[in-house]
Amino acid sequence: MADINIVQDHHLSHKKAREAAEKVAEQMAEEFDIECTWQGDVLHFERSGVSGSLTLHKHQAQMQIKLGFLLSAFAHKIEHKVAENMQKVFGGKA
């Protein structure tokens, strides 16, 4: 199993940060066939072999991903793609 942790700074309002998180979730759902649900300011996502969350803080978004055995071989590629996505959507510096 592989764990991925990505922290992305932002300077967005709470509403804009949540909209940005929704964009990240939509892109992940499309690319990785993941289902997402909100619990407060935490967006949880899951599918077979992948689970995690995107937590919104005042000036930071934190993504935690747990990959199952089969997907752990692609951990670096997945981490790079998600980090790039988050940087683009949240408009901060990675």
- Enter the pTM of the model: 0.86
Residue 31 has pLDDT above 90, yes or no: no
Helix (H, G, I), strand (E, B) or coil at 18: helix
Count of structural domains, the chain: 1
Residue 93 has pLDDT above 70, yes or no: no
Q: What is the residue range of 80's domain?
A: 2-90
> How far is 57 from 72, CA to CA, in rounded Å?
27
Q: What CATH number is associated with residue 63?
A: 3.30.310.50
CB 86, CB 63: distance < 8 Å: yes
Residue 94 has pLDDT above 50, yes or no: no
